[in-house]
Amino acid sequence: MTINTGDSLPDVTFSTPTEDGPKPISSQDVFAGKTVVLFAVPGAFTPTCSARHLPGYKDQASALKAKGVDAIVCTSVNDAFVMKAWAKDQNIGDEIVMLGDGNGDFAKAVGLTMDGSQFGMGLRSQRYALIARDGVVEKLFVEAPGEFKVSAADYVLENI
């Protein structure tokens, strides 16, 4: 079942890249007591994700934070090593928290997976964004297959 507005985000463990290697981080640590914009992509280094999705959030990071967002989080069904390399490639720095959902535990728990097998990608996350306050989904923006509109940083910024 897909998560909805008003639902609490599931308690899962992500993997985050650090200078000392991947470190586990719970969703509680990510969301508790904070206003968070999370966006999920089907895969690091994929065309739309690298050309538009992640760069859009980098470009709008200051504007989002000016509207009361404490953290901007990107997640993908990739490991922390890939997320770190992608952040470095995109010159992300500390503006966006990169979280690997390597086994797709978060994507499955929120009911937003897709089967990318026809592209050799296996189980992946759908493209979406959400705004959560203290771990509760306030707004959810799920893309139609093949679309990139409602999960874009500009759209989310307009809807905070």
Sorted by where each begins, the domain ranges of the chain are 13-158
pLDDT at 119 over 80: no
DSSP string over 115-147: E-GGGT--EEEPPEEEEEETTEEEEEEEPPTT-
**Strand, helix or coil for residue 39:** strand
Whole-number percent of the chain with pLDDT over 70? 99
C-alpha span between 101 and 116 (Å, rounded) = 15
Supply the pLDDT for residue 116.
Answer: 73
Region class of 45: left (phi > 0), else alpha (psi between -120 and 50), else beta: left
CATH superfamily assigned to domain 13-158: Glutaredoxin (3.40.30.10)
**Pairwise CA distance, residues 9 & 27, whole Å:** 8
Q: Please list the active-site residues.
A: 49
**How confident is the model over 131-140, as a mean pLDDT?**
98
CA distance linking residue 60 with residue 95, whole number of Å: 10
**E-only strand ranges, the chain:** 13-16, 23-26, 35-41, 71-76, 97-100, 113-115, 123-125, 128-133, 136-142
pLDDT in tens, 11-63: 999 999 888 999 999 999 999 999 999 999 998 888 777 778 999 999 999 99
Q: What is the tens place of the pLDDT at every residue in 141-160?
A: 999 988 999 999 999 999 99
Reported as a single tens digit per residue, the pLDDT across 84-105 is 999 999 999 889 999 999 999 9
Average pLDDT over all residues of the chain = 93
DSSP state of 55: H
